[in-house]
Amino acid sequence: MKKNDEIRISDILYEIVKHRVLIISLTIAGLLVGIVLSGVSFLRGEMSKQYIITSSFTVNTQTEQGLFTSGQEFPNQSDITMSEDLVNTVSYVFKSDKMLEDIINSLGLLGVTTKDIYDNLSLQPYEETQIIEMSLYWRSADEGINILTELNQKAPEILKETLNIGSISVLNQPAARYIIGGNINVAFWGYMALIGLGLGLAIAISKLFIHPTLINLKDIKQVFKKELLGDIIEDKAYFDRRKSILEDDGISPNIKESFASVANIIQSRLSKRDGSHIIYVTSTMRGEGRTSVTANLAVQLSELENRVLLIDLDTKNPSLSGLFLKNIDYAHSLNAFCSGDISKAEAVVSLNGYLDIMPTILERSPIPIDSNLFHVIQQIAVDYDYVLIDTAPVGLTADPMNLNQIASAGLFVIRFDDVTLKEIKSAVERIEKIEVNLLGCIVNGVKISKKEIQDPVKIRNAEAKRDMMGDPLVKLETPKSMENFDTGMKDTGAPLVTDFSEDIAVDETEKQPETVASSRDFIDLLFQAESNQTSDEEKN
């Protein structure tokens, strides 16, 4: 889906962090499964060693002729001393591959290797004497007894064959004793935890390929070939509050600044000299924050002293008015106006000096999106600089397509990491077919840490990093765009950018950048210009 099927390392890391709870949970689950299985195997005696088979014997110095090294039929002190010296040698011979291979072949043990016996066979001298205690941990009592018995029987022969000296005398015949399990296999816990970790990582990364979403603002330009007008950080405390958007208490300055920068960009693109502008706002699916973006953007445009009218044309799910008004009356609604029950003045509700809204209420028969409605909107629009229309998602209905008859521009809202890239691209292509001037995209719900939300400096640094990664640039052609922007601001009477274009043209020592990397940088550019202008005035 992405350009050249490019998958970035940052995308993979984001998915891992996003699904960290799942990954950690599966890792812990794997560890717990390993502990449980290990414990069950331990209690059932099936981990590695279920029985312990013991036997003991003494080492002597008999030769092949049956005499001791002293030449006597009975050992003397020197024979006993030599027997004690032979203990380590005999232990080595007992665990040698030659001895163990002979045992396996003699008993016809299937699936048993010399290493299996070697690892579970232990020979210990008894208090520095010629007596050796032998023990074998084995799963089968009978098979274990047969192994030790065979060892005892073959020992005299192999000792005389390999050393030409030595023999053994069995003290205790092999006997088996059941034990509860063997060693707890801690490594097994680690293996199961790694399996859980791998499963979690596989799920996280597979979602990146199967269900790719917008998690890198760079894709606005690369995948959709559109311009990023602004990115709105995720702040649930602000968007979930049950207050009118016009109430400033508790509003995040970062949220306000983000919408303000987008409003300034729109104002610079759509000059007042071109008359009123009808702009519709849509998205791919519901739940992307389209209505909230429309409302906040209208507030910021009105704060720039533009006459703004909000119209809710998501007729099957009208919710725009609820962001401003507690109660919505049919007697003051678009529904009543379209039905001819009230006048235009009665349908429009004033929110502040520059912002009005035409509410829509949910009815069994929604308002038809047809030429009659468009005629009404065009009549109303002449009294405003901007008419912002909240429409239904273009991915669900064709209603927004009809607005090409009256709309001068469109805005596309995308929720960060929500709808698939394929669905977004399809929706954008549908809009392009109706040949509406799509100003660009606004990405809503960009996820950053709570600490960054409280620290605007870190937000700027984070945006700078995203811009360095290749976020699309907002081009400002100088001086035409600046002249339009300057004209628009002069119409509002705001002193912020008085003679702004002249400052750019005259001051050669302080060259202003012709591009800004994000919408927030645009507003920074304005404040920098204001600061430069103030400094020049002080010098004069």
Could you report the per-residue pLDDT of 340-371, keeping only the tens digit for each?
A: 888 888 889 999 889 999 999 888 888 888 88
Residue type for 517, please?
A: A
The pLDDT score that the predictor gives to residue 148 is 94
Is the preceding peptide bond at 400 cis, omega within 30 degrees of 0? no
Q: How high is the pLDDT of residue 339? A: 86
Which pLDDT belongs to residue 510? 38
Is the model's pLDDT at 55 over the cut of 90?
Answer: yes
Sheet holding 277-283, edge to edge: 228-233, 438-446, 409-415, 277-283, 386-390, 308-312, 355-358, 349-350
**Which pairs from 268-275 meet CB under 8 Å and 24+ separation?**
268/476, 268/481, 268/484, 268/485, 268/488, 269/409, 269/439, 269/481, 269/484, 270/386, 270/408, 270/409, 271/484, 271/487, 271/488, 272/306, 272/385, 272/487, 272/488, 272/491, 273/484, 273/487, 274/408
State the amino acid at position 331 in one-letter form.
A
Query: Bigger pLDDT: 9 or 459?
Result: 9
In SS3 terms, 49-94 reads as CCEEEEEEEEEECCCCCCCCCCCCCCCCHHHHHHHHHCHHHHHHHH
59 versus 489: which is more confidently predicted? 59
User: What is the arithmetic mean of pLDDT over 492-516?
Assistant: 38
Beta bridge partners of residue 168, listed in sequence order: 59
Poorest-pLDDT segment among 80-84, 515-519, 527-531:
515-519
pLDDT of residue 78: 81
In sequence order, the 6+-apart residues with CB closer than 8 A to the CB of 520 are 230, 257, 258, 261, 460, 463
Report the chain's terminal Cα–Cα distance, integer Å: 58
* Whole-angstrom distance, CA of residue 107 vs CA of residue 101: 10
Q: Is the per-residue pLDDT at 242 higher than 70?
A: no
Alpha-carbon radius of gyration of the chain: 42
Dmax over CA atoms of the chain, in Å, equals: 135
pLDDT above 70 (res 490)? no
Residue-wise pLDDT for 412-469, tens only, equals 999 999 999 999 999 998 888 877 788 999 999 888 654 444 444 444 454 444 444 4
Spell out the residues 6+ positions from residue 78 whose beta carbon is closer than 8 angstroms to its own.
Answer: 69, 70
User: What was the pLDDT predicted at 60?
Assistant: 84
Mean pLDDT computed over every residue of the chain? 79
Higher pLDDT, 473 or 256: 256
Min mean pLDDT across 118-127, 467-476, 511-520, 521-530 is at: 467-476
Q: Could you tell me which residues come within 8 angstroms of residue 249 by beta carbon, excluding any fewer than 6 positions away?
A: 243
Predicted confidence at residue 311, as pLDDT, reads 93
Query: Binning pLDDT at 50, 70 and 90, where does residue 61 land?
Result: confident
CA gap 421, 65 in Å, rounded: 90
Averaged over 246-273, what is the pLDDT?
Answer: 81
State yes or no: pLDDT of 197 exceeds 70.
yes
**For residues 159 and 307, which has the higher predicted lDDT (pLDDT)?**
307
Gap between the Cα atoms of 76 and 61, Å rounded: 10
Average of per-residue pLDDT across 230-249: 74
* Dihedral-angle region of residue 41 (phi above 0 means left; psi in -120 to 50 means alpha; beta otherwise): alpha
Highest-pLDDT range among 115-124, 211-220, 246-255, 495-504:
115-124
Using 50, 70 and 90 to split pLDDT, how confident is the model at 255? confident
Residue 383 has pLDDT above 70, yes or no: yes
Query: What is the reported pLDDT for 143?
Result: 93
Task: Give the per-residue pLDDT at 316.
Answer: 87
Which strand (E) or helix (H) includes residue 146? helix 141-162
Q: Which of 357, 232, 338, 349 is nearest to 288 (CA)?
A: 232
| Span 77-87, average pLDDT | 84
Rounded CA-CA distance 76/322 in Å is 110
Given a contact cutoff of 8 angstroms between Cβ atoms, the answer to whether 436 and 316 are in contact is: no
Bridge-partner residues for 412, per DSSP? Answer: 282, 441
* pLDDT tens, position by position, 243-253: 677 776 556 77
pLDDT of residue 68: 74
Distance of CA 446 to the CA centre of its chain: 13
98-117 b/e with 16+ CB inside 10 Å = b? ebbebbbeeeeeeebebeeb
Tell me the per-residue pLDDT of 293-340, one tens digit each, with 9 for 90 and over: 999 999 999 999 999 999 999 888 898 988 898 888 888 888 888 888
- For β-strands 167-178 and 51-60, DSSP reports them as antiparallel
For residue 480, pLDDT over 50 is answered with no
Query: Of 212-226, 301-315, 514-528, which gets the smallest average pLDDT?
Result: 514-528
Lookup: tokens for 113 = 């290797």
- Is the model's pLDDT at 198 over the cut of 50? yes
Q: Can you read off the two tokens belonging to residue 94?
A: 């007992």
Would the pLDDT of 179 be above 80? no
- Range from 27-36, 66-75, 133-142, 164-173 carrying the lowest mean pLDDT: 66-75
Tell me the pTM.
0.59
State the Cα torsion 410-307-291-246 to the nearest 10°.
150
pLDDT at 57: 92
DSSP per-residue codes, 429-467: HHHHHTT--EEEEEEEEE---HHHHH-HHHHHHHHHHHH
Structure confidence at residue 416 (pLDDT): 93
**Torsion over CA of 137, 141, 142 and 144, rounded to 10 degrees?**
0
Q: Tokens 């927004």 map to which residue?
A: 400
